[in-house]
Structure 1
Amino acid sequence: MQLSIIIINYNTFTLTSKCITAVYEKLTGVEYEIVLVDNASTECDPDLFKQQFPGIKLISSPVNTGFAGGNNLGISHAAGEYILLLNSDTELINNAPKICLDHLLANKNTGMVTCQLKYPDGTIQFNCRRFRTIRWELLEIFPLYLLLPKAKREALMLHRYFDHESFADCDWVWGTFMLFPKMILQQLPGQKLAEDFFMYCEDVLWCWEFKRLGYAIHFLPEAKVMHVHKGSADKTKLKTVRVMAIKNHGKFMKKFYPDLRWYIFAAIYYSKQYSALLFANIFK
């Protein structure tokens, strides 16, 4: 088996069904399996997926283990040499997994590949990132980045400063679409994806661990996927989700800056993030 596609379902039956259907319709030229992990959903009986898609491998977890735990559970049942983590709120626009797999096979120093993500209206999402640094925060907060040439700004910061229409060598990418060789997991602590975070910022940590091992992480704009974005999040709790993401990113940065620089970063980062959150709440 060449590729195992891991999809986590948590009360998103309709979205997940569309995701699986799109894989069957768009993915060609690869021997693959779909491993669907139901993370203790209460919406409906997960066996309905098996009735609708008899060819999938369905794993029902009795408890919600989060995004990281769910993916590790799926990977433990995966037969493929390569793993694709694919969010349930996505739909392939083209043969994106094959495009990314071909790139991975042709570039042995590359440990992970991702695609271009688009909202349903066609707007491009900024899923290609750099690790936040003190320099990054200072450039944004003043904002000194406006003094940089466009090419320098894109290379230094990526994110919304990069148009996501060309190839990029990234620091980290969203967990929405992550394709990597399964054998790399054997080099990670516990020989699995880190489960430090239940959800949000786990993708940053995984990429950091891949980069520490010396692997490159590449973004391919020719591989395209539609992403509803936060389709599996409770719409009434998006503010809570935002706060969780801020806190988790701050915790991750303690690994990135395990010394006094952490306190400098934290003072700038938390002030900026919570001020933006407060401002958005006042003027919503």
Structure 2
Amino acid sequence: MISIIIINFNTPDLVKQAVSSVYQFIGDIQFEIIVIDNASSKGSIEKALINFPDVTLVKTKENIGFGRANNLGFEYAKGDYIFLLNSDAYLIDSTTVPLMITYLNQHDKVGIVGPNFIKADGSQNYAYGSLLEKRKIWSDIGFNKLSKEEWSHYATFKVCDVESPQEVGYLAAAGIITKKSVVDELGLFDPHIFLYYEDMELGWRYAQHDYGSVLLPSATIVHLGGGSGGSISKKLQEKIAASKKYYIKKRFGAFHFYRLQVASFFLLSLKRLKRRIS
């Protein structure tokens, strides 16, 4: 059985679309759907799911973030496979899920598989990325900027650009499948990350235990992009920045993190000085 976890935050109509696509395209695979309502304040998730009585609905008292909400959904999961599907994503064929499960079954050391994501108009959406490396971090703050040739190697957001299964740094978590046994062993998302970078941290952490993340270009899921999170407020921007800092500190250590902090402060001070002089 496959357990499908969908997080709702003020997007009941999108959840309905995602759930409907599962019923339409899942085929003969035994499945369950778990919807976590992340303390939504708009729309009615109950109304959206009225025609799907078998869906398990769990409501939180506060917005606990994307990662923790998925972790909560996992606590209710009974399947051998865990399918994390964004509310703003949906299936469009009956071959994608079986293909992803089959690949997992055939490769013991693959921890996560992900599809080629497209938008509603058929154009590509980002599907994977390289792990954030020190070289790119220093470039991002203004030191030794990446060349155009280097950029494609270090880019952390990429559309599917391969023609055969490819192990990658991490997979965009809008429609990924993993094994319950792997999650039991290593956990799902890091609960300290509220939003963004949780999928990158997951790919990095699984790789530390020799479980790869593989992009499957022949599997396709529509991901509208942006529909799940709504508009990005200043408070949310701060949470995203905090997620990035947490990831850097966790992966590279406190010493490297504070070096970056000092370097960022130095560059900012230098820019302010130049503005005063000019």
1:264 Cα deviation (Å)? 4.9
1:43 aligns with 2:42: yes
Per-residue Cα deviation, 1:101-147 (whole angstroms, up to 9, x for no partner)? 11111111100001111122222122211111122346787655434
1:31 Cα deviation (Å)? 1.5
1:174 aligns with 2:172: yes
Aligned-residue CA RMSD (Å): 2.7
Other-structure match for 1:100: 100
Structure of higher CA gyration radius: 2
Q: Distance in 1 between matches of 2:206 and 2:262?
A: 28
TM-score when normalising by structure 1: 0.81
Paired residues of 1:9 and 1:37 also in contact (CA < 8 A): yes
SS for the counterpart of 2:243 is helix
1:33 aligns with 2:35: no
1:11 maps to a residue whose letter is: N
1:90 Cα deviation (Å)? 0.6
Q: Distance in 1 between matches of 2:249 and 2:184?
A: 24
1:196 Cα deviation (Å)? 0.6
1:215 aligns with 2:211: yes
1:86 aligns with 2:85: yes
1:254 aligns with 2:249: yes
1:21 Cα deviation (Å)? 0.8
Paired residues of 1:124 and 1:164 also in contact (CA < 8 A): no
Other-structure match for 2:271: none
Q: Distance in 2 between matches of 1:168 and 1:127?
A: 12
2:22 maps to a residue whose letter is: V
After TM superposition, the structure 1 = structure 2 runs for residues 1-284 of structure 1, keeping only pairs within 5 Å, are 2-94=1-93, 95-137=95-137, 144-147=146-149, 156-157=153-154, 159=156, 163-166=160-163, 167-188=165-186, 191-235=187-231, 237=232, 241-258=236-253, 260-264=255-259
Paired residues of 1:115 and 1:221 also in contact (CA < 8 A): yes
Other-structure match for 2:276: none
Q: Give aligned pairs, total.
A: 263
**Structure 2 gaps, min length 5:** 268-278
Paired residues of 1:37 and 1:58 also in contact (CA < 8 A): yes
Instruction: Considering fraction of residues, name the structure with more helix.
Output: 1
Q: Distance in 2 between matches of 1:271 and 1:89?
A: 40
SS for the counterpart of 1:252 is helix
1:34 Cα deviation (Å)? 1.0
**Structure 1 gaps, min length 5:** 273-284
1:146 maps to a residue whose letter is: K
2:196 maps to a residue whose letter is: Y
